[in-house]
């Protein structure tokens, strides 16, 4: 911090004087410019990546949709069977242990 000699009633003393650091405005503008350049570079990268995107044909969409629906029904059937087996097993186990009131 900078200090300045100040004369007070014939007596000199040092008092702190707040000064703005030289170049602080240039640092601010440099950061703003760098941020803007990074943002422009980001947008440029987004644009170049979007040019690589390919929309699937109707035939591809139908094929993948069929596969997904078939997989959903197969997994649903599988889990229904497993759930039924667990339900039957738990019922038998609790009946054997006397935990069920009939």
- pLDDT one-digit tens code per residue, 1-30: 555 555 555 555 555 666 655 577 778 888
Could you identify the residue written with the tokens 């009946």? Answer: 95
Which token pair is 98? 């006397």
55-93 pLDDT tens trace: 999 999 999 999 999 999 999 999 999 999 999 999 999
Residue 9 DSSP SS3: coil
Which token pair is 92? 């038998």
Which token pair is 27? 């640092």
Please state the three-class secondary structure of 14-27 as a single string.
EEECCCCCCCHHHH
pTM over 0.85: no
């Amino acid at each position: 911090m900078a200090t300045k000699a100040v004369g007070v009633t014939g007596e000199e003393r040092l008092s702190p004087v707040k000064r703005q650091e030289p170049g602080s405005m240039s640092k601010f503008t440099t950061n703003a410019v760098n941020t803007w350049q990074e943002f422009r570079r980001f947008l440029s990268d987004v644009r170049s990546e979007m040019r690589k995107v390919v929309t699937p044909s109707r035939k591809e969409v139908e094929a993948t949709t069929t596969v997904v629906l078939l997989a959903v029904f197969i997994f649903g059937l599988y889990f229904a069977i497993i759930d039924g087996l667990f339900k039957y097993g738990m019922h038998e186990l609790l009946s054997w242990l006397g935990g069920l009131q009939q």
